[in-house]
Amino acid sequence: MALAQTQLERRYGRALQVLQHALDSSESIDWTVWYTTLLLALFELLETSSHRAWIFHSQGAKHILLNLGPNNIKSDYEKILLAAQCQILTVEATFFNRDCFLSNPAWQKALQTTITYDSKIPDRSEPVVTMWATAACAPELFKRATEAILDHHPPDRIAELADELSALLDRYTSWREKWEASLVRDDFPVPHDPTTTLATAGPTIYPQFLAFWALTNRFLLAIQPHKAPFAETNAMDAALRILEFDRLRQTDSVIDRCRTFSVSIGRSIAQTTTEWTMQQNISHEWGTIEPAVFLRWNTLLGRTTHEEA
């Protein structure tokens, strides 16, 4: 058994080397490489013993997307794979503190072309694609907010960033106004509602929306604690709804594993809300939240505060 395991590991290692060689050579990129990288990312996502390996494997798909370019997402295969990678790439950029290239206008346009109105493909439905297209714009702002807090940026730059975060919240609000009623009515539990059952609390884009809504409010509070009076309330309300949804779906299903990131966001906010609420009433010479408080939350969240390659 041990010998067979060793041989399997060697073959797996050789397969990864061949895949890496193909990724390094743009001439070798074809649909076989596409599907291999996607399957590896999905395998690691479902393997609960590996927390971040799925993100590393997603780099192969990212490399291929960049080689294809936004103007070449034309066939249904390309649209399927772009839609499939959008969530992974956005979450990856958020937790690794780096920009997400999908925020580029050309890629935003490409994402819109993946929308299908066939109810049999929910991952390419309008509410799902438009939510992730909006969320893809968040990592860059989170990264800049992190730099502003830790490097003590001047007030004018912080004010400009606060305006951009507020504009992103406006986009989320527009999405919420358009889609919340149908999503909540059909699928999403109301906290502590005795009539809510597992059958009516099915998987939906809504908790993922709540996760990014909560994060964006948190970062707005972080850079301007005295000028965002409702940000922590908004973040905490979203966190509680995420956690209630998770409580109602305590199973070992694939969907629960895919929801891990939103639950970690909800828990990190719930566990630090007292300290963050107090920060709104404390005067700091640099104008942002206290860096140590910000760093503690990021550590709890599992988000790095320096850009990872």
Whole-angstrom Cα distance, residue 264 to residue 164?
25
pLDDT digits 0-9 by tens, 266-288:
999 999 999 999 888 776 666 89
- Number of structural domains in the chain: 1
Q: Is residue 73 part of a domain?
A: no
Q: Is residue 129 part of a domain?
A: yes
Of residues 119 and 94, more confidence is placed in: 94
Q: Is residue 75 part of a domain?
A: no
Q: What is the pLDDT of residue 65?
A: 84
pLDDT digits 0-9 by tens, 181-235:
888 764 444 544 444 433 333 347 899 999 999 999 999 999 999 888 899 999 9
Q: Is residue 77 part of a domain?
A: no
Tokens of 308: 């990872």
Q: Is residue 202 part of a domain?
A: yes
Q: Is residue 52 part of a domain?
A: no
Count the helices and strands in the chain (H runs, E runs). 13, 0
- Could you list the residue range(s) of the whole structural domain that residue 245 is in? 101-301
Q: Is residue 64 part of a domain?
A: no
Whole-angstrom Cα distance, residue 162 to residue 289?
13
A 10 A CB-CB count for 148 gives 23
Q: Is residue 254 part of a domain?
A: yes
Q: What is the pLDDT of residue 67?
A: 80
Which of 148, 94, 161 is CA-nearest to residue 307?
Answer: 94
Most confident of 19-23, 34-38, 39-43, 168-172: 168-172
